Amino acid sequence: MNNGMYKISSNKKIAKDVYKMVLLGDTSAITASGQFVNIKLDGFYLRRPISICDYDSDTITLIYKVVGQGTESMSHLVLGTRVDVLVGLGNGYDTSKSGDSPLLIGGGVGVPPMFNLCKRLLDEGKKPSVILGFNTKDEVFYEDEFKQLGVDVFVTTVDGSHGTKGFVTDAFDKIGNYTYFYTCGPLPMFKAVYNSTKTSGQFSFEERMGCGFGACMGCTCKTKYGNKRICKDGPVLEKEEILW
């Protein structure tokens, strides 16, 4: 984990209530897809945990949804602003278990961590397929970016305004055989994915966090193997250890 000041080089709206922010700074603490950052905002006591969408040697791409006062404040940060960020938090996804044809399932703001994961799996010679789930067409983002990677992408919307009507599980019949799965999204989606998938897989959980690095114990959850801190021991948990 690194703690430093990062400069905002971009912060723009890309879908309904959804923003893309690019930070300039040290990315050496990021070691796996699915890790997150924790951003300190002026006027707010707790930092805001945001999953990492993508990164390179000196930039971090974050995609976040405005859902409260903290993220509303983030959406107004201007280019050149320097922000205090904890980087390289969480365990991230383990790609060694993916097999040759993994399935990536992202729902809403659970879509961003799937992007770097998809790139990493492609770099490893794997052939991933992707399902992206949203409520409506206005909320869809990164469909084209995934397609530009050369993978099969299936989009679902609850109201049927774009792609397949329904939930992410309603696109499962469009997917051939897959060897493993990775997912991030809301809890109801997780339960549906858990019950509908035919292989093992990894879930990246979203929880309210106090510190973001395991000290406060505020995001502790029960698993089949004992208590785990989502921020430190997660956010990625394996299917076999999850208790609903």
User: Who contacts 135 (Cβ-Cβ below 8 Å, separation ≥6)?
Assistant: 108, 157, 158, 159
- Total domains in the chain come to 2
Considering 40, 63, 89, which residue would you say is the last residue of a domain?
A: 89
pLDDT, tens only, 84-123:
999 999 999 999 999 999 999 999 999 999 999 999 999 9
Range of the domain at 196: 95-241
* Helices and strands (H, E) in the chain, number of each type: 4, 15
Instruction: Please state, in angstroms and rounded to a whole number, the distance separating the CA atoms of residues 51 and 33.
Output: 9
Q: Which amino acid is at 212?
A: G
CATH number for the domain harbouring residue 129: 3.40.50.80
Answer yes or no: do 27 and 51 share one domain: yes
- Distance CA(35)–CA(236), nearest Å, equals 9
Answer yes or no: do 233 and 145 share one domain: yes
Q: What percent of the chain clears pLDDT 90, i.e. is strictly above it?
A: 87
User: Quick one: average pLDDT of 57-64?
Assistant: 97
In a 3-state reduction of DSSP, which class is residue 79?
Answer: coil
At 37 the pLDDT is: 96
Mean pLDDT for all residues in the chain: 95
Provide the percentage of residues in the chain whose pLDDT is more than 70.
99
- Alpha carbon distance 214, 230 (integer Å): 8
pTM exceeds 0.85:
yes
pLDDT in tens, 112-125: 999 999 999 999 99
Asked which of 89, 111, 146 is the last residue of a domain, the reply is 89
**Lowest mean pLDDT, pick from 45-49, 53-57, 110-114:** 45-49
Mean pLDDT for 204-230 is: 82
